[in-house]
């Protein structure tokens, strides 16, 4: 178990695997902070068999046992509800949201600012100097309106939510506990602490907890064509990637709390977020790294088959997430119900960057040749071509035609589109490519368009 796993807190990341972002929620900057979840080999306990999984033989049973133990740890002795409970005033929703400095968190804030039924928002973030400035920076980067932060309904709070009482003063903890109607948990840590807060509310109806999970909890191939919007009882489905495992532990903790205490819980498994309205796509993510690789290896990867992707833009995803907060559905997939072929995006990318699409394996070989080029240091290689930081992952990704490109099990979003019907109208198409390129060029992540034009001229000479 990770040494950072203490008391009520849940902080757990995994070996050789980056740990943030969307699917593939790979961060090219996140370091591997795994400290040996599985130190010894086997405890001898056999996991329940899961007939839906197709490659059970290779599943790490020790890891499965440990994940179950973690859930047991986080679900011991839920607090009783207070004896005296008050009815809630019907004067608007009070939302507690965690982790709002990041890409999706900012979008969630923006949507909460627009929702007239939301009266107050407590945004709990890691304490740091300039917390408001960090929000403003992120909001600007995503092309969102800075006004959303200056709304009087926001309280931006710096704290360590893994501490008892979420690291808050007794007065503030009490104020939040007795006023909050909805909790939106947008980070991995401290899920149990939020359950304890909800259960100790003195309101007749405790706040609901929505957990921003990820469709990548489905790591193992499923025999069903689509990953279903249901609770996952068997951790064999998620093992092998610390990020997915941590999401599963948090999901299971919440679902157990719901079952045992009646707390209303919504697990929203988010699919790959494909950029903000202004085209900003988190530069730490795999897709951004793939695109940037074109400048080093002079090609972009194609994928086998159609390679349907269920990407969803961040603005619409955050809007839908907010609308899901009163749903009685426990598990929803916030993914595009109408996936589009990989080439919808990669044909125009190849055209714009003037590089060919090559078979995926050829692209990986080009990365391997690139990293072995002795003319520069490893650090310079990684700076210039961030895809190299994920080389190991790209080398092992399962490019099965039945999966989405880069190994994602295609998620069903049927329930989600019943709860938020307009999800069926969210279009993703090649027009997004120009916006992505524009945003990456604007931040300097990619060279300017004029650089590209002169590159094209030189290559034609």
User: 275-304 mask for ligand NAP (x: CB under 6 A)?
Assistant: -------x----------------------
CB atoms inside a 10 Å sphere around CB 256? 19
Q: Does 25 bind ligand NAP (CB under 6 A)?
A: yes
Are the beta carbons of 314 and 103 closer than 8 angstroms? yes
Closest CA to 316 of 424, 214, 418, 183: 424
In 225-341, alpha helices (H): 242-261, 286-297, 314-323
The residues that bridge with 273 in the sheet, in sequence order, are: 312
Residue 278: is it exposed, middle or buried by C-beta count within 10 angstroms (0-12/13-18/19+)?
middle
Q: Does 126 bind ligand NAP (CB under 6 A)?
A: yes
Which span (149-157, 224-232, 265-273, 400-408) binds ligand NAP, by CB under 6 A? 265-273
Identify residues 203-262 at the interface with ligand NAP (CB under 6 A).
Answer: 212, 214
Minimum distance from residue 207 beta carbon to ligand NAP (Å): 19
Are the beta carbons of 409 and 227 closer than 8 angstroms? yes
Which span (18-26, 33-41, 293-301, 323-331) binds ligand NAP, by CB under 6 A? 18-26
193 vs 327 by CB, closer to ligand NAP:
193
User: 347-386 mask for ligand NAP (x: CB under 6 A)?
Assistant: ----------------------------------------
Which span (172-180, 229-237, 269-277, 286-294) binds ligand NAP, by CB under 6 A? 269-277
Q: Does 99 bind ligand NAP (CB under 6 A)?
A: yes
Q: Does 273 bind ligand NAP (CB under 6 A)?
A: yes
Token pair 């039945």 in the structure block, residue: 402
Are the beta carbons of 321 and 111 closer than 8 angstroms? yes
Residue 133: is it exposed, middle or buried by C-beta count within 10 angstroms (0-12/13-18/19+)?
exposed
61 vs 213 by CB, closer to ligand NAP:
213
Are the beta carbons of 209 and 266 closer than 8 angstroms? yes
Q: How far is CA 212 from CA 53, 75, 99, 269, 415, in A?
A: 24, 19, 11, 6, 16
As a whole number of angstroms, the distance between CA 387 and CA 364 comes to 10
As a whole number of angstroms, the distance between CA 299 and CA 276 comes to 25
Which span (97-105, 166-174, 324-332, 412-420) binds ligand NAP, by CB under 6 A? 97-105
Q: Which residue number places its CB atom closest to ligand NAP? A: 22
Which span (17-25, 109-117, 365-373, 391-399) binds ligand NAP, by CB under 6 A? 17-25
User: Which tokens is 291 given?
Assistant: 């695109």
In 38-190, alpha helices (H): 61-74, 103-114, 131-141, 147-150, 170-177
Minimum distance from residue 61 beta carbon to ligand NAP (Å): 26
Which span (234-242, 267-275, 296-304, 319-327) binds ligand NAP, by CB under 6 A? 267-275
As a whole number of angstroms, the distance between CA 57 and CA 115 comes to 49
Q: Does 272 bind ligand NAP (CB under 6 A)?
A: yes
The size of the chain, in residues, is 461
Which span (95-103, 249-257, 426-434, 447-455) binds ligand NAP, by CB under 6 A? 95-103
Identify residues 158-197 at the interface with ligand NAP (CB under 6 A).
Answer: 186-187, 189
Minimum distance from residue 241 beta carbon to ligand NAP (Å): 12
Minimum distance from residue 311 beta carbon to ligand NAP (Å): 8
Parallel, antiparallel, or unpaired: how do β-strands 208-214 and 308-309 relate?
A: unpaired
257 vs 286 by CB, closer to ligand NAP:
286
Query: Among 18, 24, 47, 102, which residue interacts with ligand NAP (rule: CB under 6 A)?
Result: 102
Q: Does 20 bind ligand NAP (CB under 6 A)?
A: yes
Q: Strand, coil or helix: what is 461?
A: coil
Number of shown-chain residues binding ligand NAP (CB under 6 A):
23
Q: Strand, coil or helix: what is 386?
A: helix
CB atoms inside a 10 Å sphere around CB 99? 21
CB atoms inside a 10 Å sphere around CB 116? 7
Q: Does 47 bind ligand NAP (CB under 6 A)?
A: no
Minimum distance from residue 102 beta carbon to ligand NAP (Å): 2
Which span (101-109, 323-331, 356-364, 394-402) binds ligand NAP, by CB under 6 A? 101-109
Strands, sheet with 154-159, edge to edge from the N-terminal-most edge strand: 154-159, 118-126, 93-98, 182-185, 208-214, 265-270, 331-334
**What are the residues binding ligand NAP (CB under 6 A)?**
20-23, 25, 99-105, 125-126, 186-187, 189, 212, 214, 270, 272-273, 282
């Amino acid at each position: 178990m990770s040494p950072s796993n203490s008391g009520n807190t849940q902080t757990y990341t995994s070996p050789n695997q980056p740990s943030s972002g969307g699917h593939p929620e790979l961060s090219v900057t996140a370091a591997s902070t795994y400290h040996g979840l599985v130190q010894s080999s086997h405890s001898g306990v056999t996991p329940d068999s899961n007939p839906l999984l197709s490659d059970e033989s290779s599943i790490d049973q020790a890891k499965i046992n440990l994940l179950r133990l973690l859930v047991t740890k986080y679900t011991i002795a839920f607090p009783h509800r207070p004896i005296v409970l008050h009815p809630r005033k019907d004067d608007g929703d009070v939302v507690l949201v965690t982790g709002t400095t990041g890409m999706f968190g900012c979008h969630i804030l923006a949507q909460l600012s627009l929702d007239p039924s939301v009266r107050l928002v407590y945004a709990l973030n890691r304490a740091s100097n300039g917390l408001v400035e960090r929000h403003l920076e992120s909001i600007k980067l995503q092309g969102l309106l800075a006004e959303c932060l200056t709304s009087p309904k926001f309280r931006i709070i710096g704290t360590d939510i893994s501490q008892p009482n979420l690291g808050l003063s007794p007065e503030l903890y009490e104020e939040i506990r007795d006023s909050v109607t909805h909790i939106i948990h947008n980070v991995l840590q401290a899920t149990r602490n939020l359950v304890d807060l909800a259960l100790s509310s003195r309101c007749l109806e405790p706040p609901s907890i929505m957990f921003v999970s990820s469709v990548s909890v489905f790591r193992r191939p499923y025999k069903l064509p689509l990953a279903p919007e249901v609770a996952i009882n068997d951790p064999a489905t998620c093992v092998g990637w610390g990020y997915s495992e941590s999401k599963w532990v948090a999901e299971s903790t919440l679902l157990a709390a719901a079952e045992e205490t009646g707390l209303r819980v919504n697990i929203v498994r988010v699919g790959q977020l494909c950029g903000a309205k202004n085209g900003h796509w988190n530069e730490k993510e795999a897709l951004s790294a793939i695109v940037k690789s074109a400048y080093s290896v002079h090609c972009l990867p194609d994928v086998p088959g159609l390679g349907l992707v269920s990407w969803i833009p961040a603005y619409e995803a955050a809007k839908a997430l907010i609308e899901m907060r009163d749903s009685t559905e426990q598990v929803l997939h916030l993914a595009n119900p109408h996936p589009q072929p990989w080439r919808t995006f990669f044909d125009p990318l190849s055209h714009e960057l003037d590089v060919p699409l090559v078979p995926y394996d050829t692209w990986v070989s080009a990365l391997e040749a690139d990293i072995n080029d002795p003319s520069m240091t490893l650090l310079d290689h990684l700076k210039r071509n961030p895809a190299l930081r994920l080389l190991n992952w790209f080398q092992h990704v399962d490019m099965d035609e039945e999966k989405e490109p880069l190994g994602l099990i295609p998620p069903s979003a049927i329930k989600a589109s019943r709860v938020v019907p307009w999800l069926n109208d969210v279009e993703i198409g090649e027009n997004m490519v120009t916006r992505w390129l524009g945003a990456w060029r604007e931040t300097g992540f990619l060279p300017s368009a004029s650089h590209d034009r002169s590159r094209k001229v030189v290559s034609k000479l």
